[in-house]
Structure 1
């Protein structure tokens, strides 16, 4: 399990050098099963950025009262869905699209990297298969 986690974090770092959106997407995917309440998202800068971008919220949301922010998280995201890998996958896809739109990505898009497209900048099918074999406990 430790080795799998190390490999996963290295992948996040390597792919994140090409596109920070990919790093956020992979991080969210890895952390999603540990999100038990909206305050977990609010307390983690990367998770909050993932949430903000996914739902097209302004950066100024962080200036709001924390309890109001938590209500927004609860209204937009059913935390129970994070236990479903298919729903997490769809959420990650939504994020990658929204990230690319928000950041006008000119390099390999997060969508193409996450889907294995985009030539040499993409994640190989072997890497994607290896990731699918990692079981988080």
Structure 2
């Protein structure tokens, strides 16, 4: 991927993220920015390399998902669960569940973080790449 393509993707994701946050109601205010060294809910071993698709997914995840699900999908206390967790292993939450979560939101059922609103502005290709990133993180942490 060229630098120009990467910058274009980051710009598109930033605009999509801004559109999402500005359409939320005051009761659904965005979480504060991630603090350096912020404690995560689980320890995540990050692979040395990701596939090209997962690298794209990582950029999308960092732009849209990390605000609640934490860096490297390790969860964020008070905001969102870790996706690198056995609850989200493919046999329990298939890839289709990620597509549905993005499209429809999720009612809280496994964790005490409240409901997840739908995530507007992500294409099917974006979600596919995010899933690739999360699945590669999961495999690196023994979740298959």
**The two structures share one fold, judged by TM-score above 0.5:** no
Bigger fraction of residues in helix: 1
TM-score when scaled to structure 2? 0.29
